[in-house]
Structure 1
Amino acid sequence: MSHHLIWRRDDFLIDTDPDRLDIPLIHDVLTHSSWSPGIDLNTVRTALANSLCFGLYRGKQQIGFARVVTDHATFGYLCDVFVVGDLRGQGLGRWMIESVNQHPTLQKLRRVMLTTSTAPWLYASCGFEAINRGDFVWHISRPDIYKQAAAQ
């Protein structure tokens, strides 16, 4: 595993140290998000432990997050990207995605993908291209999986 990387800008920094992550904050944002409503804390912990994580901080307070699920050789899946509400619109999300793209692991991957229904302009400005070709990308989607697990 590679050493932790840090990017700095003004009063903000991005750090890949998983021990620094504010797991309760990440869980709270994800469980109230449109893409993983109701996700349980243990699922979040497992996801973080098995991903390359990027925390965005102002001082000691975490204010944003992104993670990449990757084999560290050929493929990465960018997901769970957020900046807390009152700090959106300041270019921090773009800076975080640019930093993710600069990480040495991601620089050598053949393909990095993401699935999103929000902020397509952000990802396009950071080098991502919409595929939007018939029968090109396939998936199994279970958008209510966390609600189903909670009901059992």
Structure 2
Amino acid sequence: MTYQETLNHLRITDNKDEIDLDTVHGFLSNTYWSKDIPKAVVEKAIQHSLTVGLLLNDQLIGFGRAITDYATFAYLADIYVSADHRGQGYSKMILNALFEKSGSDQLRRMLLATADAHGLYRQFGFTDLAKPESFLEINRPNIYQKHQSN
């Protein structure tokens, strides 16, 4: 059974068949966090994540995903609302759906990375890392541009 909530011609769903790959790819390939991401990578990420789409009159205007085991951990990624629909609280709807669907109240840890939306995420309880010295990463910020030149 899929998650679905309807409000004033807005519909949020976790049915992957309703998430338009071309629309998601078009947006993500132009963001600072996944510039030039190949469409096949977006498709694979959607298939292996909890995803939600925000539809207005059945047109995808927002998207979000969580990489999660549904028991202990989730990483939020690719939260977006199309430019012409921002500032109306739609990103909060996406986050609420991801939190509900992932069982976030039972997870030990949730993470995300953002360069510009700290205020939004702080409203949901996110804080700076308590012990940043405990976290390590492998970071390949230009991976999609490098693969295109090969």
TM range (shorter): over 0.9
Cα distance change of structure 1 residues 13 and 135 upon mapping to structure 2, 3 Å threshold: same
Specify the alignment match of 1:69 in structure 2: 67
Tell me the alpha carbon deviations over residues 4-40 of structure 1, each in whole angstroms, 9 at most, x when there is no partner: 1112232212100011101000001010001000100
Q: Give the distance between the partners of 1:19 and 1:106, measured in 2 at CA.
A: 24
Q: Give the distance between the partners of 1:122 and 1:98, measured in 2 at CA.
A: 12
Specify the alignment match of 1:105 in structure 2: 103
Specify the alignment match of 1:45 in structure 2: 43
Specify the alignment match of 1:130 in structure 2: 128
Offset, 1:75? 1.1
Identity of aligned residues (%): 32
Gaps of 5+ in 2: none
Cα distance change of structure 1 residues 107 and 134 upon mapping to structure 2, 3 Å threshold: closer
Tell me the alpha carbon deviations over residues 115-137 of structure 1, each in whole angstroms, 9 at most, x when there is no partner: 11121100001121221644132
Count of aligned positions: 150
Offset, 1:70? 1.2
TM-score of the superposition, structure 2-length normalised?
0.93
Q: Give the distance between the partners of 1:105 and 1:19, measured in 2 at CA.
A: 22
**Over the residues paired in the alignment, what is the CA RMSD in angstroms?**
1.4
The 8 Å contact of residues 70 and 102 in structure 2, kept in 1 or not, is answered as no
Cα distance change of structure 1 residues 134 and 108 upon mapping to structure 2, 3 Å threshold: closer
Query: 2:57 aligned to 59, 62, 72, which one?
Result: 59
